[in-house]
Amino acid sequence: MRRISEPTVRRLSLYLRFLEEHAARGIATISSDELAACGATTAAQVRKDLSLFGSFGKRGLGYAVPELAARLRDILGLERTYGVAVVGAGKVGSALVQYGGFTSRGFLVRWVYDIDPARIGHAWNGVRVSDARDMEVDFHEGGPDIVIVATPGDAAQGVADRLVRLGVKAILNFAPVHLVVPDDVVVKNVNMAIELEALSYALRHG
Amino acid sequence: MRRISEPTVRRLSLYLRFLEEHAARGIATISSDELAACGATTAAQVRKDLSLFGSFGKRGLGYAVPELAARLRDILGLERTYGVAVVGAGKVGSALVQYGGFTSRGFLVRWVYDIDPARIGHAWNGVRVSDARDMEVDFHEGGPDIVIVATPGDAAQGVADRLVRLGVKAILNFAPVHLVVPDDVVVKNVNMAIELEALSYALRHG
DNA sequence: GGATGTGAATGTCTTCACAGCT
DNA sequence: AGCTGTGAAGACATTCACATCC
């Protein structure tokens, strides 16, 4: 299958959520126009995105909702579950663990770490906060598939280095720094400061 | 000044953070190569980005750190402060308010709203959670510059509609839905589900 | 008729390469 | 010599337009 670009992957994720809502309401087919409305894009873009992995639509009708949803789940790798570890049990980390909204989509938080003794031992959603020094031992056989880094900025690179050494291949970084990792490790960043500053820029201009 | 693209604006924000760290350490000049390292980009890209608003570098030397930082703050609109309201005082909303890491950059949370009586009346960081029905009255003279929407997905569009009616021009959306707003309102999305699914895709392929 | 699938055209962003300062 | 500034080239992404099929 051809390589799928980052923007496309993100749109697929949006389409999937929309399809699942429609599936829950028993809607059988959906057009590229309707899908475009959910994702802030155009019908042509939707068709391009979906055509990248075959012809699933029926001309004159649209796309079969449950089938397309299943196909997207497959492409995105969501037919399985992922073990997730959260490093950093401060405001952001604890909110993520307690939120639990990802569990339903197969992202299961199984480990939470911090270095602050005041936080170690607490349990949220049935997951105990462990001493960050225990990561190496804990992950020795069967570590997480994805690690969420929610430490202060100055600790994040050090954590990332340890994670790389432990064989972690996917990191979701909430720390406001750019993490340097080898090519075979993928990092996605969530940086609220950047979003706020982009809003600031947009308010000032435009 | 020419229009600056979205990716460029986001990089400027990264450069600025990096410059401020260097300024704090008393470093006077920095090269495009060094700036590139902080932002996961190339030296040529840095120069292109910075050249969009004039020649600030000195050939053979690099860029003057404090001057460039000041210029970026100006361009990004960060020489002023912004009043921020948070709508939705659940896990995400409360974490944002308590986190407080944006205060130092001029984003001041002055209002927090929810519809759940169990949450109304609590105070975090000195900001009281108010009844969401009071927004119209509260904003009547002098509302927020930026509103963070941290409600469940099904409430987000309704909130956005009210905000638009109240004249809000900038929204940071944490709800996992695409908000439909007029052209003169800018929305940035933070969607952890998309990031996790993009990681899932990356783990499955490549 | 109505909606998909897709080459071609357009637009946007990034990289290259080198002239031009200091 | 060293590093910026920038046109030109290249890569990438989106939009158009229409043939194609149900």
pLDDT at B3 (0 to 100): 85
- Note whether A90 and A146 are same-domain residues: yes
- Asked whether the predicted pLDDT for residue A50 surpasses 90, the reply is yes
What is the number of domains present in chain B?
A: 2
CATH number, position B124: 3.40.50.720
Burial A162-195 (b: 16+ CB within 10 A, else e): bbbebebbbbbbbbbbbbebeeebbbbbbbbbbb
Q: What is the residue range of B65's domain?
A: 6-75
A94 lies in the same domain as A55: no
- B203 within a domain of the structure (yes/no): no
pLDDT (tens digit, 9 = 90+) per residue, A73-128? 999 999 999 999 999 999 999 999 998 888 989 999 999 999 999 999 999 999 99
**Both tokens assigned to A92:** 């952001």
Q: Do B146 and A199 touch (CB under 8 A)?
A: yes
Is B183 found in the same domain as B117?
A: yes
Would you call A192 an interface residue with chain B, using a CB distance cutoff of 8 Å?
yes
- In the DSSP assignment, the letter for residue B108 is E
Give chain B's mean pLDDT: 95
Q: Is residue B104 located within the same domain as residue B182?
A: yes
Residue B4, token pair as written in the block: 């600056």
Same domain, B86 and B149: yes
**A202 assigned to some structural domain:** no
Query: Are B66 and B23 members of one domain?
Result: yes
Chain B nearest CA to A15, separation (Å): 11
Please tell me whether residues B91 and B186 are part of one structural domain.
Answer: yes
Environment class of B129 (CB within 10 Å of its CB; exposed 0-12, middle 13-18, buried 19+): buried
Task: Say yes or no: A43 and A116 in one domain.
Answer: no
Q: Which residues of chain B have pLDDT under 70?
A: 1
Domain membership of residue B35 (yes or no) is: yes
- The two beta strands, A127-131 and A62-64, are unpaired
Is B45 in the same domain as B87?
no
Average pLDDT, chain A: 96
Quote the tokens at residue A68: 């397309």
Choose one of A75, A100, A122: the last residue of a domain.
Answer: A75
The residue of A200, A203, A205 whose CB has the most chain B CBs within 10 angstroms, and thus the best one to mutate to test that interface, is A200
- The gap between B59 CA and C19 C1' (Å) is 13
CB-based contact B36:B46 (threshold 8 Å): yes
A78 inside 8 A of chain B by CB: yes
Closest CA to A16 of A88, A67, A80: A67
Looking at B75, B99, B134, which one is the last position of a domain?
A: B75
Which alpha helices (DSSP H) does chain A contain, by range? Answer: 6-24, 32-39, 43-51, 65-76, 91-99, 135-138, 153-165, 192-204
Residue B82 token pair = 């912004």
Tell me which residue in B91, B107, B196 faces A98 most closely, judged by beta carbons: B91
Shortest CA to C1' contact from A33: nucleotide: C3
| B193 Cβ under 8 Å from any chain A Cβ | yes
- Give Cβ neighbours of residue B98 (< 8 Å, ≥ 6 apart): A91, B124, B125
Residues 86-115 of B with CB under 8 A from A: 91-92, 94-96, 98-99, 101-102, 105, 107
Residues B35 and B105 in one domain: no
pLDDT category at A43 given cuts 50, 70, 90 is very high
Residue A36: is its pLDDT beyond 80? Answer: yes
% of chain A with per-residue pLDDT over 70? 100
**Contact check, Cβ <8 Å, B201/A77:** yes
B104 CB below 7 A from strand D atoms:
no
Task: Look up the pTM and report it.
Answer: 0.95
Q: Is B167 on the interface with A (CB under 8 A)?
A: no
- Whether A177 maps to a domain, the answer reads yes
Residue A206 lies in a domain: no
Token pair of B59, please? Answer: 């050939």
My answer on whether A65 and A21 are in the same domain is yes
Calculate the CA A150 to chain-centre distance.
14
Calculate the angstrom distance between C1' of C17 and CA of B59: 17
Quick one: CA dihedral A101, A102, A105, A111, positive or negative? negative
Please tell me whether residue B130 adopts helix, strand or coil conformation. strand
Is the same domain home to A170 and A69?
A: no
What pLDDT does B1 receive? Answer: 66
Q: Which nucleotides of C are covered by protein (CB under 7 A)?
A: 1-7, 12-17, 20-22
pLDDT at A87: 98
CA distance A60 to chain B (A): 27
Query: Which phi and psi angles does B128 have, rounded to 5°?
Result: -85, 140
Specify which residues A29 forms β-bridges with. Answer: A64
Among B37, B54, B75, give the residue marking a domain's end. B75
* Within a domain: A159: yes
Whether nucleic acid strand D comes within 7 Å of the CB of A58, the answer is yes
CATH code assigned at B20: 1.10.10.10
Q: Does residue A118 fall inside a structural domain?
A: yes
B38 class by beta-carbon count within 10 Å (0-12 exposed, 13-18 middle, 19+ buried): buried
Per-residue pLDDT of B169-180, as tens digits, reads: 999 999 999 999
**A45 CB-to-strand D distance under 7 Å:** yes
Q: Does B205 reside within a domain?
A: no
- Check CB contact of A59 with chain B, cutoff 8 Å: no
**Tell me, in Å, how far CA of A152 is from C1' of D2?**
36
Chains A & B: contacts with CB separation below 8 Å: 158
